[in-house]
Amino acid sequence: SVLQENLGSHLRRCPLVKQVQSLSTQPFYQKGVNAGKEDEQEEPETGIPTSGFDIVTSEMKRNAVYSLNISEFFEMIGKIESVHAQICNDIKDSYKIPEACGVWIKGEVDRNVPFQEKHVAQQASMLGNLEEFGVLERIDGKENCELVERAENSNGVPAVVEFGAGRGYLTQMLADCYGIRRVFLVERKAYKLKADRSLRQKESLILERLRIDIEDLNLNAVESLQRLPYIAIGKHLCGPATDLTLRCCLSNERSAEQCGVNCYLRGLAIATCCHHLCQWKHYINKKYLTSLGISKEEFHAITWFTSWAVDADHGSDLSDVIDFKLLPESIEREECNGDANGVEAIAKNMKAIERAKLGFMCKQIIDMGRLMWLKEHGLQTQLVKYVPSSISPENHLLIARHVGGR
């Protein structure tokens, strides 16, 4: 906090203010360009009260669920089960450790590079899935130097954009193992101990860090990326950051007047997480969920339930429990109807495996909506579990690629 009389002098020297002022002059800064709209689609009527706020907090979501009567709560659980059975039947295990990442897996990397086995396993499997899906190609030896020059006539990919890059160690592995030559790190926060120093020591690599919120990034206006194909990657893009990223990569691709200078997406791999933070305004496929009968208020309830997937012991893969019936008959509705805190009592008395199962179902519904949006934009897509839950319960990987003409 700053005293009122000192505010003027503070603002003149505040580094954050200077950073914001500098960002606003950048051609790729476009406030809210990827935010989405609250009223893109009319939703069906529901008994769940709406908050009236742009950002619905977890507390508000919880209170809305607890305000339901017992019948409404059971009807919503039934709808979730029905929708899940309808659309979430092709999510496969795909834990891939590519040969190209052997140096990292064996821990034979630079001592200055942070090494945590579970993060390395996640990063390697992301890249392994990209390679198997035909998006990423390993090129050895001197051929690395020809990637940029050969890009227009081959399958080589000259650019990688990492969204929510943090310190940039996913890109570090990608550069070490696949010889990528041009990388862009998108991150709104400032970090210490970044991979940037190590990456800049690679003579053949061009690195550009964009300190900007994904919500405000017009990727086509990044001059050094124009006319280039690129791969988009992101490891654990929390909540709405996944939706912002998808919109950033694809919403402006079809701009006719700029198609000669636009960058264009070759493929992507996004590890989704923190679904409890998702917001209706930002969500990429409101139209699809609405077609399934899911309202805005029900969507926020679904996002709140997702937190239950990660609050249990994941020594076993609970996401694979498919035969367990939610809310078994042992829960007597009549008994709960007499409880002033009926829905809250039900929620708190549910077994851990019930809560986890419901949470995983809700996560999959949210991510399947994203997958369907990518399909609508002409991409070949998959949603896979790229690591076991014992490594991370946040184990959904959304993979996509353009086919033909790219």
Alpha-carbon span 245 to 271, nearest angstrom: 12
The whole-number pLDDT of residue 154 equals: 44
At 48, list the tokens. 């769940």
Report helix, strand or coil for 364. helix
The ranges assigned to domains in the chain are 43-89+281-361, 92-278+366-402
CB 359 within 8 A of CB 305: yes
Phi, psi of 374 (to 5 degrees): -65, -40
Strand 229-238's sheet: what is its strand order? 92-93, 379-385, 396-402, 264-273, 229-238, 159-163, 182-186, 206-210
CATH number for the segment(s) 92-278+366-402: 3.40.50.150
Q: Would you state the torsion angle of the CA atoms of residues 16, 18, 23, 26, taken in this order, to the nearest 10 degrees?
A: -170
Residue 366: is it exposed, middle or buried by C-beta count within 10 angstroms (0-12/13-18/19+)?
Answer: buried
Q: In sequence order, which ranges of 2-153 are alpha helices (DSSP H)? A: 7-13, 15-24, 58-66, 70-87, 102-105, 117-132, 147-150
Closest CA to 163 of 212, 114, 126: 212
At 122, list the tokens. 């996640």
CB atoms within 10 A of CB 71: 11
The whole-number pLDDT of residue 251 equals: 75
The whole-number pLDDT of residue 141 equals: 47
Alpha-carbon span 30 to 219, nearest angstrom: 10
The whole-number pLDDT of residue 6 equals: 65
Q: Which residues pair with 2 in a beta bridge?
A: none
Report how far apart, in Å, the C-alpha atoms of 19 and of each of 15, 22, 338 are: 6, 5, 57
Alpha-carbon span 273 to 296, nearest angstrom: 20
Alpha-carbon span 147 to 179, nearest angstrom: 9
The whole-number pLDDT of residue 24 equals: 74
The whole-number pLDDT of residue 372 equals: 98
Closest CA to 272 of 284, 263, 264: 284
Per-residue pLDDT for the chain (406 aa), expressed as one digit of tens each? Answer: 666 766 666 566 666 656 666 667 789 999 999 999 887 644 444 444 444 457 899 999 999 999 999 999 999 999 999 999 999 988 999 999 998 888 888 876 665 666 678 889 999 999 999 999 999 887 664 444 344 444 444 444 579 999 999 989 999 999 988 888 899 999 998 887 788 888 888 888 999 999 999 999 999 999 999 989 999 999 989 999 999 999 999 976 655 445 566 778 999 999 999 999 999 999 999 999 999 999 999 999 999 999 999 876 655 555 555 455 665 554 555 445 555 568 999 998 888 889 999 999 999 999 999 999 999 999 999 999 999 988 999 999 999 998 865 5
Amino acid at position 184, single letter: F
**What are the b/e assignments for 279-292, b being 16+ CB within 10 Å?**
bbbbbbbbebbbeb
> 206-210 and 229-238 as β-strands: parallel, antiparallel, unpaired?
unpaired
Residue linked to tokens 């039947």? 89
| pTM: predicted TM-score of the whole model, two decimal places | 0.86
